[in-house]
Every structure is written in structure tokens, then in C-alpha cells.
């Protein structure tokens, strides 16, 4: 059961990260905020991928 819950949470996290990424792209291209948020979403994507990888290895 925990596997299904984890998969659902990872899926929701991916959807939220994707929505955030789209919103970030709407910011002015050279803004410091866009770069900072881009770096943050890159880190979030890496964490999601790590969780997904760990879950698929189990």
C-alpha cells in the first residue's frame, strides 16, 4: 500500500513541479527571480527523480 501512496505522491509532485516550471517561464527572461526559481525547480526535480528511482528499486 505504501508503494501506491508513494507513487501517487511522486506523481502529484511532478505535476506541481511542471506547473511551477511553466509559471517560471512566464517571468522576464533575464530576471534574477526567474534564475533563482529555475534553480529551485531543478533541485525539486532532482529530488523527485531520486524518490522515483528509490521507489522503483524497491
Q: What is the pLDDT of residues 7-26, one digit of tens each?
A: 899 999 999 999 999 999 99
- Please tell me the predicted confidence (pLDDT) of residue 2: 63
- Secondary structure (DSSP) of 5-29: HHHHHHHHHHHHHHHHHHHHHTS-T
Residue whose grid cell is 532532482: 46
State the Cα–Cα distance between residues 1 and 28, nearest whole angstrom. Answer: 43
pLDDT higher than 80, residue 55: no
pLDDT of residue 40 exceeding 90, the answer is yes
- Mean pLDDT, residues 38-58 taken together: 89
Q: How many domains would you assign to the chain?
A: 1
Q: Name the CA dihedral angle for 50, 42, 40, 36, rounded to a multiple of 10 degrees.
A: 160
Determine how many CB atoms are found less than 10 A away from the CB of residue 56: 10
Full domain range(s) for residue 36: 2-57
Amino acid at each position: 500500500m505504501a508503494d501506491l501512496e508513494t507513487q501517487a505522491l511522486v506523481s502529484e509532485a511532478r505535476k506541481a513541479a511542471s506547473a511551477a516550471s511553466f509559471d517560471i517561464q512566464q517571468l522576464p527572461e533575464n530576471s534574477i527571480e526567474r534564475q533563482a526559481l529555475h534553480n529551485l525547480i531543478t533541485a525539486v526535480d532532482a529530488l523527485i527523480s531520486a524518490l522515483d528511482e528509490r521507489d522503483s528499486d524497491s
